[in-house]
Amino acid sequence: MKAAVFYEANKPLEIEEISHGDPAPREVLVRTVCAGVCHSDLHFQNGSYPHPAPAVLGHESAGIVEAVGSDVTYVQPGDHVITCLSAFCGHCEYCLTGHMSLCQEPELQRSPDKPPRLSKGDTAVHQFLNLSSFAEYMLIHEHALVKVNKEMPLDRAALIGCGVTTGVGAVIHTAKVEPGSTVAVIGCGGIGLSAINGAAIAGAGRIIAVDMVPSKLELARKFGATDIVNAGDGDPVGQVMEMTGGGVHYSFEAIGLKATAEQSFKMLARGGTATIIGMIPVGTMVELHGPEFLMERKIQGSNMGSNRFRVDMPRFVDFYLQGKLHLDDMISRRIKLEDVNEGMEALKSGEVARSVIMFDQ
């Protein structure tokens, strides 16, 4: 099969022929139909987060089941599925206490004494985040996918596999935004737009979008933003504080930078909660002013929107089909696998929400 292979940080991905194995008893072979190019892929491709090589990146995807292992009963060939990097075992402490997105059990991968799921000749190719969706097929554990309504367009469904679940989930599950509250979202890429959309679904009374790109701020209005702040026009914290008369109840950082993480905390009202969604580079320290904690302000992280994806993703599909989840405007362009490096470069400019690889075009 054709795949985009990562060999070295800050080097283009190589389009090559590699092989996948046959499904083990609890594995599923999925034909990849669509895969979003996400900032998380860029963080690993540029070395901000280390990853062994060679590897096939990609983790935001949807496809059609091609074959199933002998013990799989949940899906069958022909089913439409969304994949999810937060695969779950179902029996560890995190799974049993409702924190499935934190499961890290090794049984979700193949053990070292078994043939690798991906290979090129005699060389094993590392699987990325349980998925590796920059390839024509994915061989994954059955707990890394969810079956969805076949009426759902798969290019839009792919977005639910990471960005949408991460953004909406951070609002609904991690922060538990209350109806009528004030919300600020820093960064209006795919995840930030999803957080804005999630805040609108949750019933937030005021939703402030913060970015430096005017086109993305205008797009944020389509997703539910009631107000916009252009951070290029001056201190965004000051603008938000003046706009709200004292700060927001909830803020969300969706970029992954030290400065914006600190801004998300500083723009809180007393008793407010800042949720960091963005992937801040390894080794980066975030600094906060100690007395601010006396006002009961809180800061927390969110991993994949604290999801229960087997429950959440079908609901998000329903939201889209009902017109509540605005995914059509999130896709900036549709590309081929051969154009994946252009998709990665587009992320660096900050001008696009999402590029989606279409494997059937």
Catalytic, out of 59, 80, 173, 326: 59
CA–centroid distance for 150 within its chain: 22
- What 3-state class would DSSP assign to 151? coil
Task: Note if 43 is an active site residue.
Answer: yes
CB 250 within 8 A of CB 198: no
Catalytic, out of 20, 39, 43, 141: 43
Give just the sign of the alpha carbon dihedral 267, 252, 223, 342: positive
CA dist., res. 269 & res. 285, Å (int): 23
What are the CA-CA distances from residue 101 to residues 83, 85, 249 (Å)? 13, 9, 25
10 Å CB burial of residue 333 (0-12, 13-18, 19+) is middle
Task: Note if 40 is an active site residue.
Answer: yes
Strands 118-120 vs 19-20: parallel, antiparallel or unpaired: antiparallel
Please list, in sequence order, all residues whose beta carbon lies within 8 angstroms of the beta carbon of residue 102, skipping any fewer than 6 positions away: 86, 94, 303
In the structure encoding, which two tokens stand for residue 270, read together? 């007393």
CA dist., res. 67 & res. 338, Å (int): 26
Catalytic, out of 84, 95, 162, 188: 162
CA dist., res. 45 & res. 28, Å (int): 26
What's the chain's Rg over C-alpha atoms?
Answer: 20
CB 6 within 8 A of CB 54: yes
CB 170 within 8 A of CB 277: yes
Catalytic, out of 38, 84, 95, 103: 38
CB atoms within 10 A of CB 46: 15
Task: Note if 59 is an active site residue.
Answer: yes
Amino acid at 300: Q
Catalytic, out of 20, 40, 86, 181: 40
Positions annotated as catalytic residues are 38, 40, 43, 59, 162
